Amino acid sequence: MREQLRVNPIDCAGHGVCAELLPDLITLDEWGYPKLVPGPVPPRSAGPSLP
Amino acid sequence: MNGITSSTVFWYASRATGVVALLLLTVVLVLGILVNRQGRLPGLPRFAVTGLHRNLSLLSVAFIAVHVLTAVADSYVSIPLPAIVVPFTSGYERFWLGLGAVSLDLMIALIATSLLRRHLGRRLWRAVHRLAYVSWPVALVHSFGSSTDLRRGVLLVLAAACALAVAAAAAWRLVAVARAVPRAQRVGALMSGQAGLARTDLPRTDPPQAHPLVKAGQP
Amino acid sequence: MTTAAVAAHQPVTGPPPGQRPATALPLLLPAAGAVPQDLGAHQRRHGNLPWRGASELLIADIAQAGLTGRGGAAFPVYRKLAAVAGAGGRPVVVANGAESEPASRKDTSLLWLAPHLVLDGLQLAAEAVGASQAGLYLHRGRDGRLAAVLGRALAERSAARLDRMAVEIIEAPPRFLAGQESALVNRIAGRPAVPAYTPPRVFERGVHGQPTLVQNVETLAHLALIARYGPRWFRAIGTPGEPGSMLCTIHHVDGRTGVVEAALGTPLRGLLDLDDRAQAVLVGGYHGSWLPAAEAQQLTLANAALRPLGAALGAGVLAVLPAGRCGLAEAARVTRYLAAESAGQCGPCLNGLPRIAAALTALAGPRPGLRIRADAERWAGLVTGRGACHHPDGTARFVRSALTVFGPELNRHERGECLAAADEPFLPVPVAAEGDEDRR
């Protein structure tokens, strides 16, 4: 099953935990907000949920 | 011979797990504030803060479970099982144990809404989670009133240290709330951080200064 | 296929009620004068409301006509209608007349001059999707006169027992994002008019959690005409890929502003003065793109012609920048406005737009330094696609096209020169707003 990772930019407060947990999918911009790698998520085990 | 009865074992177990639970809940609350302030524990990755907060809260539940069940099982005092969650229905120490039930009820609400967070609105989750600031003091008062353990010696010092830690963390949180730029004014704050930006059409002559970083997301 | 025709309020004899009009424009706006068409005048010109009975009939006609939204996104109208009609629940229909784009006046003009055409379209759309509630979303404007005109029009229709669904007028706050469809839904729910995170899109879950059809008022006016005269009539003008006509707000090089109705595919040089008085053209409003005047001369009023150049029609704003103006100063002023209009909800937009505005302000001045242009480009890339709505994307598009088209001007500024002969602003920008209180 192909899944797409998305960020709710309104709720996002820039904690940066997501980039720490999924460094190959998420990097942080110069203001601390997540930048997602485009495209579907490669298959992997379920990760923890985020603040 | 007056030996150790099962009642005595239960009683001691309840008191001991109660103390540990209080300690754990103190750490959980302080960690919760650390998550909100986006603070870090030295040497640990960022997700450790939120991970520890969550895991220790579940551990506290385990200790509280033993704490209340041993108290109920103790035949020396009369505490009906429902009194664990129905406040002020215990025969023994109705008021102080009732406070414990109140605190536990609030904790159950906190944890249940956190586990079901995906299905609830953000506003509901936050409103319930703020009840932690009620649950902890109630638990502390319950601890002081239910037995004399915390009123002297090492345990008194321990309880005082916990209270101090919670007070300090809560104060930190309040200062942040007071300082936070309300969402309505965030854009304005950034725009006027640049001197002269409010003027409409005259070009500037020096390069823009660094803007303060203003956090978006829910306050 | 008739040749594309353009008319700006030229007198045209109206057809007898119910008969197909000749395809000479204007179709939406009244034939002559600037007086609001009352119900009688409207019915004499266009005949009675053509109730269709079954929703599929109107939706099929709209599909065949190829009508796309005239609010800026150009989304195929039949697909929205079908989605809301098929979604179950108790649908809500809202006519979006909140023209928040400062440079656009076509919706206001349409509502002022031909309110009954819009209200016909609203009734027909409500019938087509099986709506249980209908609304008209409007800015208050100066002294609330527009709302008064619409209120009178609704009262006329009510007295004539024309409408099958009551229409509630909802006031939009005077902010740029108020007309965005999820901001509209938020406003109707009593919350501030700021965008929400999607999915779900409002046609799935909108007002009161119900499927909500949000349609621009001009779109509804076209819908009302297609319901009367059929899709083939609509397709008789325009291009095969982009049929029909659209309303454009034109800012002429001499400072005049007007609203015209033009067939899609009309050459831009027929609408605008693109001689050597003109430096550049802004196509699509403040979320649109700049094009050099010489390039614009070769283009037509069609997305098929504009998209390859990175531009799009948007809500039909066309502004010609005169030769003696500094395009960077104009762009900087608009960008400051756009930054101030950010909802402040999303980190990238909140942090990026003010910085971009500051950079553009510096670039509009003398000797800004080389790094600032690179910063502006980088930030424009950073904010695109990372907000809950398209405000940062549109702002970035506007800024990047300005940096491209006014590149020669950038070089002049680097040397401490500027070709501007006049200082006063050309593009209309409202005075900066004061905060969130006025988003309600």
Going across the sheet that includes C167-172, the strands are C167-172, C133-139, C92-97, C212-216
Q: Which residues of C touch B190 (CB under 8 A)?
A: 350-351, 354
Q: Are C213 and C225 in contact (CB under 8 A)?
A: no
Residues in chain A with CB shorter than 8 Å from the CB of B118 are 49
**C382 in A contact zone (CB under 8 Å):** yes
Q: B38 vs A10: CB contact, 8 Å cut-off? A: no
pLDDT at residue C438, rounded to an integer: 59
Query: B118 and chain A: CB distance < 8 Å anywhere?
Result: yes
Q: Which residues of chain B have a CB within 8 Å of the CB of A9? A: 216
Using 70 as the pLDDT threshold, list the residues of chain C that sit under it. Answer: 1-24, 31-34, 432-440
Residue C354: closest C-alpha in chain B: B191
The pLDDT of A21-38, averaged and rounded, is 92
Q: Characterise B104 by phi-psi region: left (phi > 0), alpha (psi -120 to 50), beta (else).
A: alpha
Which of C428, C430, C8, C426 shows the shortest CA–CA distance to C253? C426
Question: Average pLDDT of A31-51?
Answer: 75
d(CA B203, CA C378): 22
Q: Which of C233, C355, C357, C218 is nearest to C286 (CA)?
A: C357
Interface test with B, best of C326, C330, C356, C361 (most B CBs within 10 A): C361
Can you name the CATH fold of B6-179?
Answer: Four Helix Bundle (Hemerythrin (Met), subunit A) (1.20.120)
Question: Contact, C207 vs C92, CB < 8 A?
Answer: yes
Yes or no, beta carbons of A31 and B122 under 8 Å apart: no
pTM: 0.86
| Residue C339 contacts A where some CB pair is shorter than 8 Å | no
Q: Do A31 and B213 touch (CB under 8 A)?
A: yes
Task: Region of C57 please: left (phi>0), alpha (psi -120 to 50) or beta.
Answer: alpha
- The b-or-e profile of B43-74 (16+ CB within 10 A means b, else e) is eeebbbbbbbbbebbebbbebbebbbbbbbbb
Q: Which of B183, B194, B203 sits opposite C344 (nearest CB)?
A: B183
The whole-number pLDDT of residue B2 equals: 55
CB contact under 8 A, C350 and B190: yes
How many beta-carbon contacts under 8 Å exist across A and C?
Answer: 35
> Inter-chain contact A12–C347, Cβ cutoff 8 Å?
yes
* Residue of C103, C149, C95 lying closest to C157 (CA atoms): C149
How many Cβ atoms are within 10 Å of B177's Cβ, its own excluded? 10
Say how many residues make up chain A.
Answer: 51
Please state, in angstroms and rounded to a whole number, the distance separating the CA atoms of residues C302 and C4: 12
When scoring C345, C375, C379 by the number of chain B Cβ atoms within 10 A, the one with the most, hence best to mutate, is C345
Name which residue leads in pLDDT, B210 or C204.
C204
Q: Which residue of A has its CA nearest to B218?
A: A11
CA–CA distance, C189 with B21 (Å, rounded to integer): 44
- C346 — contact with chain B (CB < 8 Å)? yes
On whether any CB of chain C is under 8 Å from the CB of B80, the answer is no
CB B201 within 8 A of CB C329: yes
Query: Are residues C425 and B201, on separate chains, in Cβ contact within 8 Å?
Result: yes
- Residue of chain A whose alpha carbon sits nearest to that of B115: A49
Out of C333, C351, C361, closest to residue B204 by CB: C361
Q: Which CATH class is domain C22-235?
A: alpha beta
Query: For position C32, what pLDDT does the model report?
Result: 63
Read off the pLDDT band of A44 (50, 70, 90).
low
Distance from CA of C353 to the nearest CA of B (A): 9
CB–CB contact B35 A51 (8 Å): yes
Whole-number Å distance between alpha carbons of B30 and C279 = 62
- pLDDT confidence of B188, banded at 50, 70, 90? confident
Question: Which residues from chain C sit within 8 angstroms of residue A8, using beta carbons?
Answer: 197, 388
What top-level class would CATH report for the domain C245-322?
alpha beta
Contact B118/A51, CB-based, under 8 Å? no
Q: In chain A, which residues have their Cβ closer than 8 Å to the Cβ of C384?
A: none
pLDDT for the residue C61: 95
State the DSSP string of chain A: --B-----TTT-----HHHHH-TTTEEE-TTS-EEEPSSPBPP-PPPPP--
3-state secondary structure of B4: coil
> Does B195 have pLDDT greater than 70?
no
Name every chain B residue with its beta carbon within 8 A of the beta carbon of A17: 46-47, 50
Give me the residue spans of the domains in chain B: 6-179
Q: Is the dihedral angle over the CA atoms B153, B159, B163, B166 positive or is it negative?
A: positive
CATH class of C327-420: mainly alpha
CB spacing of B38 vs A12 below 8 angstroms: no
Q: Distance from C374 to chain A by nearest Cα, in Å?
A: 15
Map out the domains of chain C as residue ranges. 22-235, 245-322, 327-420
Question: Which 3 state secondary structure label does DSSP give B37?
Answer: coil
Residue A46: the pLDDT is 53
Q: Residues C207-226: pLDDT tens digits? A: 999 999 999 999 999 999 99
Please judge whether C345 and A9 are an interchain contact, meaning their C-beta atoms are less than 8 angstroms apart. yes
**Shortest CA distance from C198: residue in chain A:** A8
Interface of B with A in 175-214 (CB under 8 A): 213
Structure tokens at A25: 């999918």
- Decide if A24 touches C, using CB distance below 8 A: no
Which chains would you list as touching A if contact means 3+ CB atom pairs under 8 Å?
Answer: B, C
How many CB contacts within 8 angstroms connect chain A with chain B?
39
Split at pLDDT 50, 70, 90, the class of B1 is very low
Helix (H, G, I), strand (E, B) or coil at B68: helix
SS3 sequence, chain C?
CCCCCEECCCCCCCCCCCCCCCCCCCCCCCCCCCCCCCHHHHHHHHCCCCCCCCHHHHHHHHHHHCCECCCCCCCEHHHHHHHHHCCCCCCEEEEEECCCCCCCCHHHHHHHHCHHHHHHHHHHHHHHHCCCEEEEEEECCHHHHHHHHHHHHHHHHHHCCCCCCCEEEEEECCCHHHHCHHHHHHHHCCCCCCCCCCCCCCCCCCHHHCCEEEEEHHHHHHHHHHHHHCHHHHHCCECCCCECEEEEEEECCCCCEEEEEEECCCEHHHHCCCCCCEEEEEECHHHCEEEEHHHHCCCECCHHHHHHHCCCCCCCEEEEEECCCCHHHHHHHHHHHHHHCCCCCCHHHHHHHHHHHHHHHHHCCCCCCHHHHHHHHHHHHHHCCCCCCCHHHHHHHHHHHHHHHCHHHHHHHHCCCCCCCCCCCCCCCCCCCCCCHHHC
Name the residue of chain B whose CA is nearest to A13's CA.
B217
B204: contact with C, CB 8 A cutoff: yes
Identify the three-state secondary structure at position B54: helix
Interchain CB contact of C352 with A (< 8 Å): yes
Domain residue ranges in chain A: 1-40
Q: Helices B46-73 and B6-36: crossing angle, nearest 10°? A: 160
Within a 13 Å sphere around the CA of B54, how many CA atoms are in the beta-carbon half?
A: 13
C402-424 residue pLDDT tens: 999 999 999 999 998 888 877 78
Assess A3–C contact: CB distance below 8 Å, yes or no: no
Residue with tokens 């979320």: C287
Q: Kindly state whether A35 is in contact with chain C, defined as any CB-CB distance less than 8 angstroms.
A: yes
Any CB–CB contact under 8 A between C359 and chain B? yes
The first and second tokens of residue B93, run together, are: 């120490």
How do beta strands C245-251 and C212-216 pair? unpaired
Q: pLDDT tens-digit profile of B48-79?
A: 999 999 999 999 999 999 999 999 998 888 89
Is any Cβ of chain A less than 8 angstroms from the Cβ of C346?
A: yes
What distance in Å separates residue B14's CA from the closest CA in chain A?
A: 33
Averaged confidence pLDDT in chain B: 84
User: Which amino acid, one-letter code, is at B129?
Assistant: H
User: Residue B219: which pLDDT band, with cuts at 50, 70 and 90?
Assistant: very low
